[in-house]
Amino acid sequence: MSDRVGGWLDERTGWRLVWDGVFLRQVPKVNWAYTLGSATLIVVVNQIITGILLTIYYVPSVQDAYATVDFISHDLTAGWLIRGMHHWGASAMVLLVGLHMVRVIYHGAYKFPREITWLSGVGLLVLTLAFGFTGYLLPWDQKAYWATVVGTRMLEVTPLIGDWALRVARGGDDLSAVTLSRFYGIHVWVLPAILLLLVGLHLYLVVRNGISAPPKKGE
């Protein structure tokens, strides 16, 4: 029965070809350093799930942001765990993406035919940093406020467009309710949409081009 159902679905979706390409493909003998990409993907899934759960109670307003974060952390059942997983997951994601990029550079895995894979990985690194920057403001406490003041002020030194970039990031001359709303929207809508596209492209290219074998002595 299962073979008949599988065959029926395969004729209409080609899922067996995808299954074979993803799970039955030949890979070179590698070491633990090659698991950094998979570990990063696991953290990405954690961030998506915990982030969705946090948005159920978080209110992105200057009046309620801090109070809702405090409620999640201290009063909500398992809220401390969900927020902790999201908080430390963000740090782990930055660390793992960075180490993954170092491994790729060290092994020369950015060379032909994996240049586009490398570029999509660079995009994911930049996106990870953007997630960290936009998410840092959301608790709306003193540390988050002044760290964002300093972070956005760095945009002001950009040649020619510095003042414009600063006002766009803040939604005005100073941090305000507009800034918090803007960072929240970017953090939970814009960046995740780009993340899903880049992760999909990156995984497709990894499956299509394969992973590079560790270089041997003399290569």
CA distances from 51 to 16, 44, 134, 153 (A): 33, 10, 13, 27
The whole-number pLDDT of residue 218 equals 56
Domains of the chain: 29-209 (1.20.810.10)
The whole-number pLDDT of residue 29 equals 83
Cα angle: 4, vertex 10, 14; to 5 degrees: 170
The whole-number pLDDT of residue 219 equals 55
Cα separation of 170 and 186, whole Å? Answer: 12
Cα separation of 80 and 74, whole Å? Answer: 6
Write out the chain's pLDDT in tens, 219 residues: 678 888 899 899 988 888 888 888 888 888 899 999 999 999 999 999 999 999 999 999 999 999 999 999 999 999 999 999 999 999 999 999 999 999 999 999 999 999 999 999 999 999 999 999 999 999 999 999 999 999 999 999 999 999 999 999 999 999 999 999 999 999 999 999 999 999 999 999 999 998 888 777 655
Cα separation of 182 and 189, whole Å? Answer: 10
- Token couple for 15: 């899922």
The whole-number pLDDT of residue 16 equals 86
CA distances from 147 to 47, 128, 143, 154, 159 (A): 22, 18, 6, 11, 22
The whole-number pLDDT of residue 1 equals 63
DSSP one-letter code for 172:
S
pTM for this entry: 0.92
